[in-house]
Amino acid sequence: MDDMKKVGNSSCSDGVLLRMGLNDNKAGMQGLDKDKINKIIMETTKGSRFYENELKKDQQVNQRIEKMMQLKEKITAQQLLKAQWQVDKLVLELEQSRNLSSTIVHIDMDAFYAAVEIRDNPELKEKPIAVGSMSMLSTSNYHARRFGVRAAMPGFIAKKLCPHLTIVPLNFEKYSKVSKEVREILAEYDPNFMPVGLDEAYLNIAEHLEERLNWPEEKRRFFFNTESTAEKDKADINMSAKFNEDGYSASPVLFEENTPLMSDHAEKKDELVQNSVVFGTNAEEAVKEIRFRIEQKTQLTASAGIAPNTMLAKMCSDRNKPNGQYRIDPKRHAVLDFLKDLPIRKVPGIGKVTEKMLKALGIVTCSELYQQRALLSLLFSEASWRNFLDISLGLGSTHLEKDGERKSMSTERTFSEINAAEDQYSLCRELCRDLAQELQKEGLKGKTVTLKLKNVNFEVKTRASTVLSSVSTEEEIFAVAKDLLGTEIDRVAPHPLRIRLMGVRVSGFLSEEEKKYQQKSITSFLKSGKEIGFLRLQSRNSNQEYFRKKSEASFRGSFFDKKRAARQLNSENLSPNETVSKLLFHDRKSPANFVEETKEVTDLQDSNVCKIFTCPVCFEEQSSNNLEELNRHIDECLNGNLDTVEISKYDSSRENTPNFLPQCKNENVDECKPNRTDQLAGRDQSASTSDNPTSNSTEKSAQIISDKPHRERQPSNLCDIGSNVCMKQCLYPKRISQDNEDHFEKTEHTEETSSSYFFEAKDDSVLVCPVCNSEQKTSLLSFNRHVDICLNEGLVQELKEKNYFPSKTYHTENSNRIGGLSRGQQRTNPSQGTKRSGLTASQSVSKKAKLSNSKHTIEMFFK
């Protein structure tokens, strides 16, 4: 059987090979052709747990696509027409607000980590190298890429592709240092530039260009670095050659807004002789200057893109990589020309999945994306199709936003299987400790703790819990996380939880306001208590009891999880001494503590000291100094008013989604969408609707638009014009700089990541199954599976019987509520069977469980 499979596998790979194009060994001895790369990857990957999971994910995407296609079938011509009309109305508006006046530059260091390592160890030059570890690579040099060695590929596979590959371990400190050097240069051109990771940055050089116009030549002259090793000399020569070329290669200055003075170019040649170079005043020259200076300073090359907005600039920097640059003129037609045949995958934000879904609709290039705009508006969410529209029109951010406040902080680790609960708890605690440390560095406290688990089958789960009082210390976080972990352990009991990754995240941070409030109210509150002269005589027991009472009454019981008691008992399978006591009674500073204090104070009812109290729940000052009343108030707050608190916080922290579409008023036309009419009919009651009760005619709509001619386009990204634009903030790095734990490497991906190296057959060739001879229009991945299945008819039958091809029917079994989601079957509509394309993990657990005839449900999952 095993042999059979092996035969099947290799014949499958060969089949793929044969159909995928026959250009053998174009790269000659120096590399591998696509077929060989795919074959090797396939061979080393097949059968692994990872691979199986990839298959599953692939299937899920296929189901999403299927669902989308079904939706598409139901769309009537009329609906499409109406959508077209509406979208085009929006297009007009967007077009009107097109802003071409910014000059955005995207700088991207070439193969950054690899380049740094090569620079520091010339031995590596000319060799294929990658940076990372045997389990994961961050980047590779261009030589290695010819062998198919790419970022986000595990090292051991890379080694098979390229046995001579040298893998250099990561050295973040070094990269950071180089990055800093580069940033020093960038800051001269735009003090507000926006770094992205260590190797990329956006600049808005509009101001610089203006000033630059008046700069004397000497200010634009830069010298070659002369103190040199042999290598460096060589580099310099190459450099000057390159810039010489670039500098004089008929640059399209004709349509430049900032046309350089004639003299700029004329003198350059002479200056070169003197070991220096003078750059012109236009954007391209300025960017060449930046790249030149970067190379002189760091011996590393960068690529750059220049365009009217960030999206375009980024795509431009990709164009002439490595060590090149490209500019899109700030003209509408230039933008559209650039996009015309550009594959959507090149667009930042369009990843593997979106690409595949759009491809199913026949959309590959940006112009096709535009052509299908009406259809897309019916098939995708509003955020999505608006984004698509922006893309196809070449619209993007024309200014660089400061990083907003961070929204979450997390840490996670991958390890070889851990299945002992005890180890899992201590690991969890460790993660909480690290996280707490980082949180405190930034003075953050959050209300939501999320636990992330990945089992040995690579299935990822997250479990979150939001508490009332914010957490920030190890103990506080762990108090929440351990419960989440506990529930997951219970869930699979008596089988062990077999995990390969655990992570902890804290989110829902308090705003500055809230922090101050909390601080003030707590301290004043406690101070009040102290002045009353309260004594600590509470026994732990009574605390616990009070605690439980409160929790039962409190909002959803979310904070004081009902399961706490159960968990207390359950955790005795851990080392009793340490764990139980630590798990349960450590939280002197945990949220619980607050309640304790509350009780202590409020218990002292007969005290008669005059003080103003601030309620720790609603933060309101209490007019009464009567402790009994205060006590009652707090009780009320804890019981009833929580909703109010929650809501007000919700309101203040959430922006409303702006809706730019004029109201969909055409009731006489059929529903705009099969399913989501709500999204077309905007919630935005913009003036236009009142002015134009029936915005049916095109003239009317044109009217609407000209009424507010230069209305700033509100970008789909809400932050763009957010209220915090004015907040002058320094750029603080969001990344946790973690330098501990050498066996848990932290990697960073800088280029061509996207994990798309995995079976991505970019070619469009139709795959024909060598067994059943049918054309397979699926991905290589699915194709592979198909052939496997074909090779074994019996298996096919069996799978069919077990309903493995879920295109038809299977129902949720509420008995398998793995995710803790109580999803009853209030829906009896049979068509619901089709509605389950977006399988959640828990759902797919039930699916799998069903497959196995419910013999085992969860066990097999964590097997």
Partner DNA sequence: CGGATCGAC
Partner DNA sequence: CTATGTCGATCCG
As measured in angstroms, the least distance from the Cβ of 140 to DNA is: 13
Task: Tell me whether residue 465 or residue 666 sits nearer to DNA (CB atom).
Answer: 465
Tell me: does residue 165 bind DNA (CB under 7 A): no
CA angle 192, 190, 312 (to 5 degrees): 90
Burial class (CB in 10 A: 0-12, 13-18, 19+), 8: middle
C-alpha dihedral over 425, 431, 432, 435, to 10 degrees? -170
Strands 200-204 and 104-109: antiparallel
Tell me: does residue 352 bind DNA (CB under 7 A): yes
CA distance 105 to 102: 10
* Segment 649 to 708, residues that bind DNA, using CB under 7 A: 649-650
Task: Tell me whether residue 383 or residue 609 sits nearer to DNA (CB atom).
Answer: 383
- Beta bridge pairs of residue 105: 203, 306
One residue of 148, 394, 508, 529 binding DNA per CB under 7 A: 508
CA distance 496 to 672: 50
3-class secondary-structure state, position 446: strand
Point out which span in 282-290, 347-355, 510-518, 662-670 binds DNA (CB under 7 A).
347-355
Point out which span in 418-426, 754-762, 779-787, 847-855 binds DNA (CB under 7 A).
754-762
* Segment 192 to 231, residues that bind DNA, using CB under 7 A: 196-200
Tell me: does residue 744 bind DNA (CB under 7 A): yes
Residue at 286: amino acid letter: A
In this structure, the number of other CB atoms found within 10 A of the CB of residue 349 comes to 14
Point out which span in 503-511, 545-553, 632-640, 686-694 binds DNA (CB under 7 A).
503-511
- Measured between alpha carbons, how far apart are the two ends of the chain, in Å? 22
* Segment 842 to 861, residues that bind DNA, using CB under 7 A: 842, 844
Going residue by residue from 623 to 652, which x/- string records binding to DNA, judged by CB under 7 A?
A: -----------------------x--xx--
One residue of 48, 511, 605, 644 binding DNA per CB under 7 A: 48
Tell me: does residue 503 bind DNA (CB under 7 A): yes
Point out which span in 29-37, 231-239, 542-550, 746-754 binds DNA (CB under 7 A).
746-754
CA distance 640 to 643: 7
Nearest of 437, 410, 436, 428 to residue 571 by alpha carbon: 428
C-alpha dihedral over 567, 573, 579, 581, to 10 degrees? 60
CA distance 362 to 702: 32
One residue of 214, 226, 416, 656 binding DNA per CB under 7 A: 416
| Backbone region of residue 362 per phi and psi (left: phi > 0; alpha: psi in -120 to 50; beta: other values) | left
Going residue by residue from 705 to 734, which x/- string records binding to DNA, judged by CB under 7 A?
A: -----------xxxx--------------x
Distances (CA, A) of 465 to 389, 409, 453, 471: 37, 15, 15, 12
Task: Tell me whether residue 144 or residue 630 sits nearer to DNA (CB atom).
Answer: 144
Point out which span in 123-131, 213-221, 413-421, 704-712 binds DNA (CB under 7 A).
413-421
Tell me: does residue 760 bind DNA (CB under 7 A): no
Tell me: does residue 351 bind DNA (CB under 7 A): yes
Phi, psi dihedrals of residue 279, rounded to the nearest 5°: -100, 150
One residue of 94, 566, 796, 841 binding DNA per CB under 7 A: 841
Tell me: does residue 354 bind DNA (CB under 7 A): yes
Tell me: does residue 251 bind DNA (CB under 7 A): no
Point out which span in 21-29, 305-313, 570-578, 813-821 binds DNA (CB under 7 A).
813-821
What is the full DSSP assignment across 533-577? Answer: T------HHHHHHHHHHHHHHSGGG-SS-THHHHHHHHGGGS-II
Tell me: does residue 67 bind DNA (CB under 7 A): no
Tell me: does residue 410 bind DNA (CB under 7 A): yes
As measured in angstroms, the least distance from the Cβ of 398 to DNA is: 18
* Segment 85 to 144, residues that bind DNA, using CB under 7 A: 134-136, 138
* Segment 821 to 840, residues that bind DNA, using CB under 7 A: 821, 823, 835, 838-840
What is the full DSSP assignment across 261-310? Answer: PHHHHHHHHHHHHTTEEE--SSHHHHHHHHHHHHHHHHS--EEEEEESSH
One residue of 462, 648, 685, 729 binding DNA per CB under 7 A: 462
Alpha-carbon radius of gyration of the chain: 31
Tell me: does residue 392 bind DNA (CB under 7 A): no
**Helix H or strand E segment including 176:** helix 172-189
As measured in angstroms, the least distance from the Cβ of 580 to DNA is: 24
As measured in angstroms, the least distance from the Cβ of 220 to DNA is: 30
CA distance 141 to 63: 37
Task: Tell me whether residue 414 or residue 696 sits nearer to DNA (CB atom).
Answer: 414
Point out which span in 147-155, 369-377, 609-617, 775-783 binds DNA (CB under 7 A).
147-155
Which residue carries 């992330």 as its tokens?
Answer: 452
* Segment 527 to 556, residues that bind DNA, using CB under 7 A: none
Tell me: does residue 65 bind DNA (CB under 7 A): no
One residue of 38, 51, 129, 592 binding DNA per CB under 7 A: 51
CA distance 396 to 462: 33
As measured in angstroms, the least distance from the Cβ of 149 to DNA is: 13
Tell me: does residue 353 bind DNA (CB under 7 A): yes
Task: Tell me whether residue 7 or residue 134 sits nearer to DNA (CB atom).
Answer: 134
Tell me: does residue 349 bind DNA (CB under 7 A): yes
* Segment 419 to 458, residues that bind DNA, using CB under 7 A: 448, 450
SS3 content of the chain, % helix, strand, coil (to 5): 50, 10, 35
3-class secondary-structure state, position 199: coil
Tokens of 538: 């509470």
Point out which span in 21-29, 178-186, 563-571, 752-760 binds DNA (CB under 7 A).
752-760
One residue of 465, 573, 703, 714 binding DNA per CB under 7 A: 465
- Beta bridge pairs of residue 418: 499
One residue of 59, 86, 747, 857 binding DNA per CB under 7 A: 747
As measured in angstroms, the least distance from the Cβ of 440 to DNA is: 14
Task: Tell me whether residue 232 or residue 676 sits nearer to DNA (CB atom).
Answer: 676
- Give the distance from CA 432 to its chain's centroid: 22
Task: Tell me whether residue 166 or residue 448 sits nearer to DNA (CB atom).
Answer: 448
Tell me: does residue 820 bind DNA (CB under 7 A): yes
Task: Tell me whether residue 483 or residue 597 sits nearer to DNA (CB atom).
Answer: 483
What is the full DSSP assignment across 448-498? Answer: EEEEEEEETT--EEEEEEEEEEEE-SHHHHHHHHHHHHHHHHHHHTTS---
One residue of 174, 749, 785, 817 binding DNA per CB under 7 A: 749
The alpha carbon dihedral of 5, 8, 11, 15 has a sign of: negative
As measured in angstroms, the least distance from the Cβ of 753 to DNA is: 4
Tell me: does residue 406 bind DNA (CB under 7 A): yes
One residue of 382, 390, 760, 788 binding DNA per CB under 7 A: 382
Tell me: does residue 411 bind DNA (CB under 7 A): yes
As measured in angstroms, the least distance from the Cβ of 718 to DNA is: 6
Phi, psi dihedrals of residue 418, rounded to the nearest 5°: -120, 125
Total number of residues that touch DNA (CB under 7 A): 101
Nearest of 205, 152, 197, 166 to residue 179 by alpha carbon: 197
Sheet (strand 129-132) strand order: 137-140, 129-132, 166-168
As measured in angstroms, the least distance from the Cβ of 291 to DNA is: 18
Tell me: does residue 355 bind DNA (CB under 7 A): yes
